A and B are shown apart, each in its own frame.
Chain A
Amino acid sequence: MSLDLQRETEPAIELVGIDKKFGAVHANKNINLTVAKGSIHGIIGENGAGKSTLMSILYGFYHADQGEIRISGKPVTIRDSQTAISSGIGMVHQHFMLVENFTVLENVMLGAEGGQLLRKGVASARRELKRLEDDYGLEVDPDAVIEELPVGSQQRVEILKALYRGAEILILDEPTGVLTPAEADHLFKVLRVLRDQGKTIILITHKLREIMAITDTVSVMRRGEMVATRKTAETTVEELAELMVGRRVLLRVEKGEANPGKVLLSVKNLTVKDSRGVTMVDDVSFDVRAGEIVGIAGVAGNGQSELLEAIAGIRKPASGEILIDGKSIAGSDPAALRELGLAHIPEDRHHMGLVLKFEEYENSILGYHRDQRYGRGAMLNLEAVRKDAEEKIAKYDIRPPNPRLRTANFSGGNQQKIVVAREIERDPNVLIIGQPTRGVDIGAIEFIHKRIIEMRDAGKAVLLVSVELDEIRSLSDRILVMFAGKVVGEKSGEAGEQTLGLMMAGIAA
């Protein structure tokens, strides 16, 4: 018992007075953090709170301006990721760092081949992989090719890679973003085993539920500062949310009864193929009426993106029909669809919704730039565009309120507000939305959700695609679940998480 207690209190990592500035941005202010050995420690905070900067300092991507890092009590200087690895720190990135057409074994060995010739290294890596599998229950076929593995298994390979390099401290950055609820549960099981075997785990996330489900202790960051550290058992979701945002937050959206009118968007037997000719959307039919929000739930990659792109006119359907207000949109490009009153908040604001190198005001007209109000004929009237952008900035509280700032320099939440403002302010009849709050901080989530519900209450048809089940459940009046390109079921907005989760995994209809 006493030994157990000692193990718990011995720190694996101590950060003392870490400070980091990027120009005028104070990303980390005098951060102190102690993570006990053999524990799971959560770090939460809004986007831009400084979590990623802190972890990048720990992993050697950035150098702290001031402060000290101690590992198992000893001060270390982490110059680059090589020294981080040799100090026993492993990192599982949000976006996997795997060579897609290599096997599991080859990926695990990458950078630790052990000599000029591969043969010896392969044999020892295979043995070591087997051992890790037995010890931690991380089962993956070592000869499987990465691109053929499901996302959950790919993530396991990332964890194996870190362990193979002797990681004692494992940092996971938003690990469940791409997982089904079942896969996330499996991951948590693995993390608990790792902890019980004495590994230390740092989990970065913005999902409060995960923090409550898996961590032993949790630290909250806000605006570059470490504002609180709590034992998970002694805190609540409400307290953490308040600490993150600095004020009380409505976690559940308030909305009245839906009042559905006539069908504004109708999808009939739609089939969409991707560029390789693989069927991504398979014979899908549904209607969205005026004054209702229809949510499409599903794990990422089950055809939702292609469905949205087909409706938005970006991707040509292989067969089937899409009707807006009763009129077929076959052959219309996105510009023509905007004229018909369709607005599209795309899933990926970085590659689609925005041009990050543009100044803010230039993005505020993307897709509507041919409108005569932004300049007669072929010319662009910059004054009119900027005035329009300033109005949207004021109305949507986009910060900093500077239309001349480069879009890339806005935080995720404010970037998303630029897109939302542009699309909603055109007062469209049909609004299709993909991942409205991905990478967006809690304050902005609340704001965006309110705007979406206002659109519904104003009698617009809203189609919402999101991989965040919570978001789908709290906004939607009806929920369709997509799996492998098909709509596998429809539920009311009150459907339970478990029911939907099983449908998303293709297990129950």
Chain B
Amino acid sequence: MSTASVPLPAWINYGVIPILNLILAFFFSGLVVWLIGENPFEALQLLLIGALGRGEGIGFTLFYTTSFIFTGLSVAVAIHAGLFNIGSEGQAYLGGLGAALVALSLDSYVPWYVTMPFAVIGAALFGAACAAIPAWLQAYRGSHIVITTIMFNFIVSSLMNYVLVRVLIVPGKMAPETRTFLEGGQLPKLDWLIGVFGGRLGAAPLNFSFVIALVMCFLVWVLIWRTKLGYEMRTLGHSPTAAAYAGMRYSKIVIITMLISGGLAGMMALNPVMGASARLQIEFVGGAGFVGIAVSLMGRNHPAGIVLSALLFGILYQGGAELSFDMPAITRDMIVVIQGMVILFAGALEYMLRPAIVRLYQQAMGR
């Protein structure tokens, strides 16, 4: 009660506190690693080298980062309007169908840079469509958006099963996936980006959607802080009664926000579908939608913060995979535990250290 309202300078709020939280997370992760009989320092070293040591590792890290940026932005946009979109997972999944349909219809006629804008629109439209019904229910019927978006994750999952197994499957094949897109339906790899740092991308799937993700960060920043719509969204997010007083239409803002949020989640599909595997596969989202929640929370719902926290989770994903390969005692599940620690300390326990830091700060300022 007494320290929550004390303002701290930005470098403490956005620098010192997150870094301390991260150190704590790694400390406890290290403790767990030590408990199962492995050397935590060696594990950390393997994780970092796996994620950032070679060009290929960096490529994988940034590939994961790209997906997390999209879903993180999706969650953040909704949070600014006071809506908790748990459905980024399903919206991204359906977005994949949009991207794939565009790629399948255009890939034999035009080069990738013609297909791309249509694919972006297609992915966003399908993602937005997936968010539209929960949005409408929230706006006009008061059904809680958390519940409805969770339920839509299941609905989309079943729908995609049906579509892939019955409709888009290549005749005569067993795998529930579409045919491989031709070059006109693939996003180019970013060898040159890794080349700048003197590395080689190798087999890593880092592709052009990384650039699209960064552009979206900028556009989301403009939307939230530089447009009248963003102003209305933030007003609604902070105070629904003030929004009503100001004549902002609740239902309109809720629906528009959720369509944008769903659209951003849908675009995430570009990265794995058109960038990496060049086909639509079952369960390709793989939890990135849920990671987006943690990414957005950790990044304080700000695009710049989201890029950084998406990068952190990218490192954990890629480095974690390498680590479990090199240290068999550390299984995939252990990596999930470490990721959980990061979410716990940097997200849920974000304010744990704050009172102590406020006191230190006040003492340092000479009271």
Contact = CB atoms under 8 A, between A and B. Distances in A.
Interface of A: 21-23, 61-63, 65, 312-314, 333-338, 344, 346, 348, 351-358, 362, 366-367, 369-370, 374-375, 378-380, 382, 406, 408-409
Contact of B245 (A61, A62, A312, A374): A312
B239 A335 contact: no
A61 B2 contact: yes
Interface string B1-23: 11001110000000000000000
A279 to B, nearest CB: 21
Interface residues on B, range: 20 to 34
Given A62-B2, A379-B227, A334 B246 contact: yes
B228 A23 contact: no
**Prevailing SS type, chain A contact patch:** loop
A369 B362 contact: no
User: Nearest 5 A-B pairs (CB), nearest first?
Assistant: A335-B247, A334-B247, A367-B246, A352-B245, A351-B241
B249 A369 contact: no
B229 interface: yes
A459 B238 CA distance: 36
A181 to B, nearest CB: 30
B228 A369 contact: yes
Interface in B154-184: none
A21 B1 CA distance: 15
8 contacts: A23-B362, A334-B245, A335-B246, A351-B241, A351-B242, A352-B245, A355-B238, A366-B235
Given A351-B239, A351-B241, A357-B238, A333 B247 contact: yes
A352 B241 contact: yes
A335 B228 CA distance: 14
A272 to B, nearest CB: 15
Contacts of A367: 245-247
Interface string B216-232: 00000000001111111
Of residues A348, A374, A378, which shows the largest number of chain B Cβ atoms within 10 Å of its Cβ?
A378
Contacts of B230: 380
B239 A338 contact: no
Nearest to B362: A23
A344 B242 CA distance: 12
Nearest to A21: B367
Contacts of B249: 333
Contacts of B231: 362, 369, 380
A337 B226 CA distance: 26
A276 B7 CA distance: 40
B244 interface: yes
Contacts of B2: 22, 61-63
A434 to B, nearest CB: 11
Of residues B234, B242, B367, which shows the largest number of chain A Cβ atoms within 10 Å of its Cβ?
B242
Contacts of A338: 247
Given A65-B367, A335-B247, A352 B242 contact: yes
Contacts of B244: 314, 334, 352
Interface string B248-262: 110000000000000
A111 to B, nearest CB: 18
Contacts of B232: 369
Contacts of B248: 335
A384 B241 CA distance: 26
Contacts of B242: 351-355, 366
B5 to A, nearest CB: 8
Interface in B337-367: 362, 365, 367
A336 B5 CA distance: 36
Given A351-B239, A355-B235, A406-B7, A378 B227 contact: yes
B12 to A, nearest CB: 13
Given A23-B7, A65-B367, 8 more contacts: A63-B2, A335-B246, A351-B241, A362-B231, A366-B245, A369-B231, A378-B229, A380-B228
Contacts of B362: 21, 23
Contact of A23 (B1, B6, B247): B6
A313 B248 CA distance: 12
Contact of A313 (B7, B229, B235, B247): B247
A84 to B, nearest CB: 15
Given A62-B2, A366-B235, A369-B232, A380 B226 contact: yes
Contact of A358 (B6, B238, B245): B238
Contacts of A358: 234-235, 238
A433 to B, nearest CB: 14
A378 B228 contact: yes
Contact of A61 (B1, B227, B229, B241): B1
A354 B247 CA distance: 13
Contacts of A382: 226
Nearest to B243: A355
Of residues B1, B244, B362, which shows the largest number of chain A Cβ atoms within 10 Å of its Cβ?
B244
B108 to A, nearest CB: 38
Nearest to A370: B228
Contacts of A409: 7
Contacts of A334: 244-247
Given A314-B245, A367-B247, A406-B7, A375 B1 contact: no
Nearest to B223: A378
A443 B174 CA distance: 80
A414 B365 CA distance: 27
A424 B349 CA distance: 44
A63 B2 CA distance: 9
A338 B7 CA distance: 35
Nearest to B1: A61
B62 to A, nearest CB: 32
A496 B242 CA distance: 36
B49 to A, nearest CB: 42
A406 B229 CA distance: 21
Contacts of A62: 2
Nearest to A354: B242
B227 A380 contact: yes
